[in-house]
């Protein structure tokens, strides 16, 4: 009997890692291994290669990252270590082992000045440390192996961990009205949908050495929104399901100052992923509905056991 494909994903509690574990259950020929601290410490890049070799994966997914956009401004060294140096080290060992690597990046590598959705060939110009550290990570991955895919995604949410959708639902339990930024636009993306796509891309990489399947790809949900649009959809679904909801007070970025600047429009064109990998993620509204339903269900189960 053929052994299952071993996919190693970095991280333990991140949204994408948890979603990969869930979605992999539908694949009998796939084993997902998740590694994080203390065994795999991305702050200690000298030990990364040995840990990956011991795990002996067939494919590597670089999912763990320093994702606090604002804290990165004052913790630049940590952000660059985890988001830049560690992916470079992972790519180097993947190259040594002759296995493909899929690395997750971000829409924040762009400055948001473009009025149309960004394509992969557009010039990058991060506005903050987080985006810059992720951009350097992309470059180090590409410098250390040719068998790679960099996936730039955006505005991730899921039933797991900390994310905007979960925060809105939790906040609506105690607030009748919430102030939400309405002049930043992107593609709210389900980490569950992204995980499904990662598994498909991994299979494509293992089954073909076609160079068109490799390189940088944008992969985010169909449709775009502002943060306020996203919040209103969360509350619309929650109210329909009998859950908590709040009124949305639409404000500008100037009314909600943060340590890091955000791009005004980081919408991504995902045509390249559709063309070469045959992937088009669902509309964000559909995926928000699924996530809100699950979060309400989780909350209800928690309350009955307390």
- Enumerate the active-site residues: 130
186 in Cβ contact with 150 (< 8 Å):
no
Question: What sign does the dihedral 182-196-63-302 (CA atoms) show?
Answer: positive
Rounded-to-integer distance, Cα 278 and Cα 255, Å:
41
Q: Do residues 151 and 223 touch, judged by C-beta distance below 8 A?
A: no
């Amino acid at each position: 009997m053929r052994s299952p494909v071993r996919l190693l994903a970095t991280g333990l509690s991140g949204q994408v890692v948890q979603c990969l574990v869930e979605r992999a259950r539908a694949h009998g020929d796939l084993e997902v291994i998740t590694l994080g601290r203390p065994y795999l410490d991305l702050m200690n890049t000298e030990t990364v290669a040995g840990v990956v070799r011991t795990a002996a994966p067939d494919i590597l997914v670089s999912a763990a990252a320093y994702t606090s956009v604002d804290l990165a401004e004052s913790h630049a060294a940590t952000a660059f270590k985890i988001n830049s140096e560690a992916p470079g080290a992972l790519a180097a060992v993947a190259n040594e082992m002759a296995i493909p690597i899929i690395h997750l990046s971000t829409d924040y590598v762009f400055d948001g000045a473009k009025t149309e959705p960004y394509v992969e060939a557009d010039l990058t110009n991060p506005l903050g440390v987080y985006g810059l550290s992720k951009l350097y990570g992309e470059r180090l991955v590409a410098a250390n192996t040719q068998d790679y895919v960099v996936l730039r995604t955006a505005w991730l949410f899921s039933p797991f961990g900390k994310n905007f959708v979960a925060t809105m639902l939790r906040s609506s339990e105690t607030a009748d009205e919430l102030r939400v930024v309405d002049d930043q636009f992107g593609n709210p993306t389900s980490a569950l949908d992204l995980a499904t796509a990662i598994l498909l891309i991994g299979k494509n990489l293992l089954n073909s050495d076609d160079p068109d399947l490799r390189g940088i790809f944008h992969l985010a949900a169909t449709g775009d929104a502002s943060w306020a649009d996203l919040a209103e959809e969360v509350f619309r679904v929650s109210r329909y399901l009998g859950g908590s909801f709040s009124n949305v007070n639409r404000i500008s970025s100037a009314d909600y100052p943060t340590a890091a600047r955000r791009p005004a429009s980081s919408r991504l064109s995902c045509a390249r992923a559709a063309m070469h990998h045959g992937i088009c993620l669902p509309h964000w509204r559909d995926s928000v509905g699924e996530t809100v339903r699950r979060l309400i269900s989780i909350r209800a189960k928690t309350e009955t056991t307390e």
